[in-house]
Amino acid sequence: MNTVLLLGPPGAGKGTVAEALVEKGYTHVSTGDLLREQIRLETPLGIEIKRLMDNGQFVPDDVVVGMIRGLLEAATDRQKFLFDGFPRTLAQAEKFDELLQSVAGVIEEVILLECPEAVIVERLSGRRTCGKCGTVYHVKYNPSSVTDVCDIEGCKLTQRPDDNAETIKNRIEVYKERTAPLIAFYQAKNLIHSIDATQSIDVVRSAALERLG
Ligand code: ADP
Ligand code: AMP
């Protein structure tokens, strides 16, 4: 089993790149999407997740790792996964290594999307999402044909509750403190490939596609 990880701050464009990489046969796994599904289902876990997410805090490692464990155990040997937003802490990265060993999986590559803070804030503030198909737009950089209407589903686009100024600030701080150390962790394993994510969507997507052959 092969896996590719997309690493980078919130808003760097991980989901946007992932939309393109699925063409290469990867199964896209966004832990953010999996967690939002729990919120939508209003499970007891979902209620707790919403509280944390709305504050820009991480969901506990064991919850997220448990989801990934279930997914890997149910997968076939030939499946290729693209992880977006996981792992996000050193503890998750270490657990992930153990899980991969147990299913004879490997990390092919860690694609690091490098993006400065000012760009992130602008991207997250202008992000709009389709609640039905999950397509991600940006009011300026990737607008829908009709303002605030999904091109595919024709329904109204929404803004994520955690994409407000206060929560964006918290998420950036949490990224710096808890996720940025993963760069050194994967650099030591020689797995990091960096892409300048300030370039246009097409350029960033092409760079990632090229990298994965
Ligand atoms: P992440 O998954 O890393 O949080 P997204 O893929 O959701 O980030 O992108 C955040 C916002 O920035 C979205 O509105 C998206 O349309 C926009 N975006 C993504 N990549 C680029 C880019 N290279 N240039 C301009 N805007 C981008
Ligand atoms: P994302 O959709 O990747 O921007 O994630 C949105 C939110 O989901 C994050 O701010 C966290 O609250 C939570 N989340 C997503 N992935 C993880 C993870 N791997 N570990 C902990 N929390 C996560």
Note the pLDDT tens digit of each residue in 33-73.
Answer: 999 999 999 999 999 999 999 999 999 999 999 999 999 99
* Percent with pLDDT over 90 in the chain: 95
58 lines ligand 2 (CB under 6 A): yes
Q: Which residues are catalytic?
A: 14, 88, 127, 160, 171
129 lines ligand 2 (CB under 6 A): no
32 lines ligand 2 (CB under 6 A): yes
Are the C-beta atoms of residues 98 and 104 closer than 8 Å to each other?
no
Are the C-beta atoms of residues 11 and 114 closer than 8 Å to each other?
no
Are the C-beta atoms of residues 136 and 144 closer than 8 Å to each other?
no
**Mean pLDDT, residues 169-177 taken together:** 98
**Please, which residues bridge with residue 135 across strands?**
none
Please report which ligand is nearest the Cα atom of 11.
1
Query: Given the CA of residue 142, which atom of ligand 1 is nearest to it?
Result: 16
Tokens found for residue 5: 């990880």
pLDDT of residue 212: 85
* Confidence grade of residue 213 (pLDDT, cut at 50, 70, 90): low
**Mean pLDDT, residues 114-119 taken together:** 96
Please report which ligand is nearest the Cα atom of 195.
1
- Compute and round to an integer the Cα radius of gyration of the chain: 17
pLDDT of residue 99: 96
Ligand 2 centroid from CA 143, angstroms: 24
